[in-house]
Amino acid sequence: MKTAHDLVTEAKTRIHEIQPQDADAAIRDAAVLIDVREADEYHAGHIPGAVHIPRGLLEFKLSNDPALSARDQKLVLYCKTSGRAALAAQSLQEMGYLHVLSIQGGFDAWCEADKPVDKPSLPPLD
């Protein structure tokens, strides 16, 4: 039986990951930057410009939102350490998305690289 770690390791062999230092250019070039973490994680701080779509809703949101359904748009994903983003990237590739990138090391690596973080000043409403 495979573990979650096994699934992430396998997914990372099938997706494209970028280093945090290369993420700025990829984000500028992307149609959407997606934070796949949970709401409390997103509200505690996120990469500027990120849209919050939790991992559990990602496929449904992209399938049902005309603005996100174009399979040729460039997407950049991240989570806390890159496991959930790797699984999400693999899933989106299987759905036919052609340009999906995941930030290696996720939000933790982004913060360790001393990159900017947005922290909402209002409490979350969801």
Known active-site residue 79: yes
Catalytic residue among 30, 33, 53, 79: 79
DSSP assignment of 68-120, as one string?
A: T--TTSEEEEE-SSSHHHHHHHHHHHHTT-SEEEEETTHHHHHHHTT---B--
Query: Residue 124: inside a domain, yes or no?
Result: no
CATH (domain of 85): 3.40.250.10
Predicted local confidence at residue 120, as pLDDT: 77
Predicted local confidence at residue 91, as pLDDT: 97
Query: Residue 123: inside a domain, yes or no?
Result: no
pLDDT < 50 stretches in the chain: none
Query: Residue 66: inside a domain, yes or no?
Result: yes
Q: How many domains does the chain have?
A: 1
Per residue in 48-84, pLDDT (tens digit) is 999 999 999 999 999 999 989 899 999 999 999 999 9
Query: Residue 122: inside a domain, yes or no?
Result: no
Which residues form the domain of 33? Answer: 4-112
Predicted local confidence at residue 126, as pLDDT: 60
Query: Residue 120: inside a domain, yes or no?
Result: no
Q: Which helix (DSSP H) or strand (DSSP E) does residue 51 occupy?
A: strand 51-52
57, 36 contact by CB (below 8 A): no
